[in-house]
Structure 1
Amino acid sequence: MGDLLGHRRPSPGAALRALLAGPEPLLAPGAYDGLSARLVEQAGFDAVYMTGFGTTASLIGRPDVGLLTGSEMVDNARRIVSAVDVPVIADADTGYGNAINVLRTVQLFEQAGVAGLQLEDQVAPKKCGHMSGKAVISTAEMVGKLEAAVAARRDPDLVVIARTDAVAVSGIEDAVARGRAYAEAGADVLFVEAPTSEDDIARVAGELAGVAPLVFNWAEGGRTPPLPLSRIAELGFSLVIYPIGTLLAATAGMRALLATLKADGVPPLAGLPAFDEFTDLVGLPEVQQLEQRFRG
């Protein structure tokens, strides 16, 4: 977990690249705040995915339809990065403007300490990739934005992930063509969002796995069929994200507790972490050690 002294760490991008080059797909559950990120790390996962869907829901209680600003997303990324020691991949939506805006977006996310960031080719304001009514910008405009992203990074190891939402708009053939163009523009990893059949997933993998590492979005309840991890690995995907499982689980847990509290006037404590267990989880022992060290 991230320490309060913030000791200098090696390039997070280099760490992420090493994980992506491993023999098995890298699994990155979604986190929407520092606590959920800590839980992902403590569960033994090697990377955290900062979900834009979950960030929007947790910060303002609204759907993922482009309501958050770039600065709000960067602030959340900074908090998540500071909470953990594993690499963090951040959703940077559309880059919050044109190619010039992307320059600053990349620099701000890099300053926040992320290992990689995802840029998508939707028209702003964007929508969650598994919602209807999406629209995409031209391939040429997205290529310019990706070239800007690559030029903007200070650390050449920062991982730029290019996502296309073209499957739902113009079909799988255009999505694959965009993937090739985005790799040529300098994207390190390709993310074809929301294919709706295993055949389309296999086509994406068959045509693009040799071009760049690929993302599989195991979107809980989304439009993409939930393939077993063994099949995802067989197809050649390098990164599997599980964006909203933590958010949905937290929502279910809070609903159940609040319903019982409303009905009985007493919160159900069975199954909940004890107070001391929770304070240990969020780092109280470290604070106590630092208090002793800097007592004066």
Structure 2
Amino acid sequence: MTLHIDQESAPATSRLRALLHAGAPIPVIDAYDALSARIVESAGYRAIWASGLGISASFGLRDNNEASWTQILDSLELMAEATSVPILVDGDSGFGNFNNVRRFVKKIGQRGLAGVCIEDKAFPKANSFAERTHELCPAGEFCGKIRAAKDSQPDDDFVVVARTEALIAGHGLDAALARAEAYRHAGADAILVHSKATTAEEVAAFAARWGGRAPLVVVPTTYADTPADTFQRMGVSLVIWANFTLRAAIQGIENACAAQQANGGAPEPGDARYAPLKRVFELTDEQELRAAEQHYMPAAEDGPAPARLRAAGS
């Protein structure tokens, strides 16, 4: 089934759902704050992954539910305000039980987020690539979280993605398929099968046996060199690049700082490592403020204009 949606005027929920059913793998990249989300949108991506790892790291915290869900919510609200493309939220394991899930879904729905992905790890979750034992939530309990999310969604097009970590936890392909099928019956709109294998063979085996029962989502962090046509053959709907802007930002800042230190603490003139200030002003929509001032501030002949308040931190 292919859904045809007006990508300009349709609600974010409808646009994300249409991408799930586009009939070809759609690349989705991460953002971790409002500025990175705006950069991703300006690069032409049709959807954004609001990365739990990225948002936690932006607070200087581990991806271990150390940030409260209200702190996460504040970041998500700014990201949604800064962009127009649909945002799929990394909802970790739901920040608790079914009641936490329904509260979280209700709140992100109020803020215009298009969907949420919840994973079947026990709370508090650990990052899938952390060197530790990964404990899964009982499948029946997780099905209750899925139902709670669907019952709390803002509209019928809101997307709930159920993410199984069975392969990450070492439970094998049969367990991953059994959990995915249970989650589909519980109402999940799509299944994300996660793997830390270095090739796509594990997720390809899952996809072959899954047989398109519901849209399939993958996160090829450890098998990033997989050709795009492989995902097409697998019948994947979304390919989420879940932590790449975060890692690019870290590497870019470290490289810039190292270069300045090597140059006596000052940047080289014309160094291409640094975006021009003009680009910063573009990303923060300075031009809109100039236009608004012309519209709302009195002209000189109308008398003295009220003093402009100095912005905090300027």
What is the TM-score of this pair, normalised by structure 1?
0.92
Paired position in structure 2 for 1:213? 215
Paired position in structure 2 for 1:72? 71
8 Å CA contact 2:61, 2:67 repeated in 1: no
Code of the aligned partner of 2:122: V
- State which drifts further: 209-218 or 113-122: 209-218
Paired position in structure 1 for 2:38? 38
The answer to whether 1:154 aligns with 2:161 is no
Paired position in structure 1 for 2:3? none
Q: Equivalents in 2 of 1:20, 1:209: separation in Å?
A: 16
SS at 1:238 equivalent: strand
SS at 1:155 equivalent: coil
SS at 2:267 equivalent: coil
The answer to whether 1:102 aligns with 2:101 is yes
- State which drifts further: 202-211 or 73-82: 202-211
Q: Equivalents in 1 of 2:246, 2:68: separation in Å?
A: 20
Larger proportion of helix = 1
Query: What's the offset of the Cα at 1:200?
Result: 1.7
Paired position in structure 2 for 1:179? 180
Q: Equivalents in 2 of 1:137, 1:164: separation in Å?
A: 10
Q: Which string of whole-angstrom CA distances, capped at 9 and with x for unpartnered residues, describes residues 253-287 of structure 1?
A: 11111112223220245112211232123211111
8 Å CA contact 2:89, 2:116 repeated in 1: yes
SS at 1:286 equivalent: helix
Query: What's the offset of the Cα at 1:12?
Result: 1.1
Q: Equivalents in 2 of 1:147, 1:284: separation in Å?
A: 43
Q: Give the percent of matched residue pairs that are identical in Structure 1 and Structure 2.
A: 33
Code of the aligned partner of 1:11: P
Query: What's the offset of the Cα at 1:39?
Result: 0.9
8 Å CA contact 2:195, 2:202 repeated in 1: no
Q: Which string of whole-angstrom CA distances, capped at 9 and with x for unpartnered residues, describes residues 206-248 of structure 1?
A: 12242111111022xx3x4641111111111000111111111
SS at 2:236 equivalent: coil
- State which drifts further: 74-83 or 254-263: 254-263
Computed over aligned residues only, the root mean square deviation of the Cα atoms, in angstroms, reads: 1.7
Q: Which string of whole-angstrom CA distances, capped at 9 and with x for unpartnered residues, describes residues 69-107 of structure 1?
A: 111111111111111110011111111111122111110
Paired position in structure 2 for 1:136? 136
Q: Which string of whole-angstrom CA distances, capped at 9 and with x for unpartnered residues, describes residues 106-130 of structure 1?
A: 1011112111111111011101122
Query: What's the offset of the Cα at 1:172?
Result: 1.8
Q: Give the alignment of 1:168-247 within 5 angstroms.
A: 168-169=168-169, 170-194=171-195, 196=197, 197-219=199-221, 222=222, 224=223, 226-247=225-246
Q: Give the alignment of 1:15-26 within 5 angstroms.
A: 15-26=15-26
Q: Equivalents in 2 of 1:214, 1:68: separation in Å?
A: 29
Which runs of no fewer than 5 residues in structure 2 stay unpaired?
A: 1-7, 299-314
The answer to whether 1:267 aligns with 2:262 is no
Q: 1:48 to 1:130 in 2, by over 3 A?
A: same
Q: Equivalents in 2 of 1:275, 1:266: separation in Å?
A: 17
Total equivalences in the alignment: 285
Query: What's the offset of the Cα at 1:168?
Result: 2.5
Residue from 286, 289, 292 that aligns with 2:288 = 286
Query: What's the offset of the Cα at 1:250?
Result: 0.8
Q: Equivalents in 2 of 1:112, 1:167: separation in Å?
A: 33
- State which drifts further: 170-179 or 207-216: 207-216
Q: Equivalents in 2 of 1:225, 1:242: separation in Å?
A: 8
Paired position in structure 2 for 1:5? none
Q: Equivalents in 2 of 1:239, 1:283: separation in Å?
A: 30
- State which drifts further: 173-182 or 256-265: 256-265
Query: What's the offset of the Cα at 1:56?
Result: 0.7
SS at 1:71 equivalent: helix
Code of the aligned partner of 2:64: V
SS at 2:58 equivalent: helix
Q: Which string of whole-angstrom CA distances, capped at 9 and with x for unpartnered residues, describes residues 158-193 of structure 1?
A: 100100111132222101110011010000010011
What is the TM-score of this pair, normalised by structure 2?
0.86
Paired position in structure 2 for 1:87? 86
8 Å CA contact 2:30, 2:240 repeated in 1: yes
